[in-house]
Amino acid sequence: MKTHKAKRVAIIIEAPMESRLTDALEKAGVTGYSILPVLGGSGRSGSWRRDGQVGRAGGMVQVVSIVKEERLETLLNAAFEMVEHHMGVVTVSDCEVLRAERF
């Protein structure tokens, strides 16, 4: 099966910032992303969990976007601006994709 090099960017970000981040990604020309739930976690600012919570503050979501290498820099700039003053983790890893025409 023919595969193509791409980058997988995963951004764990505070839930109240989700729509701002995805808008920024769209502006940066990202063609697709998926939003994954996060149940809880721990970091420098303490630990949290979603159980029983009503408000969105005090919760994170993960936004994953597979992009062509050439779009990476723009995406990271957009992402960085969003997480700059906020909690959040941005990781990039290499991957291979099927159907490269989709990215």
Ligand X SMILES: Nc1ncnc2c1ncn2[C@@H]1O[C@H](COP(=O)(O)O)[C@@H](O)[C@H]1O
Please tell me whether residue 47 binds other proteins under the rule CB under 8 A. Answer: yes
Q: Which does 80 bind (CB under 5 to 8 A by kind): ligand X, other proteins, its own copies, none?
A: its own copies
Q: Which of residues 75-94 bind other proteins (CB under 8 A)?
A: 85-87
Query: How far is the C-alpha of 1 from the C-alpha of 96, rounded, in Å?
Result: 11
15: how many CB neighbours lie within 10 A of its CB?
18
Q: Is residue 34 near other proteins by the rule CB under 8 A?
A: no
**End-to-end CA separation in angstroms for the chain:** 17
Return the DSSP state at 74. Answer: H
* Residue among 29, 32, 43, 58 that touches other proteins (CB under 8 A): 58
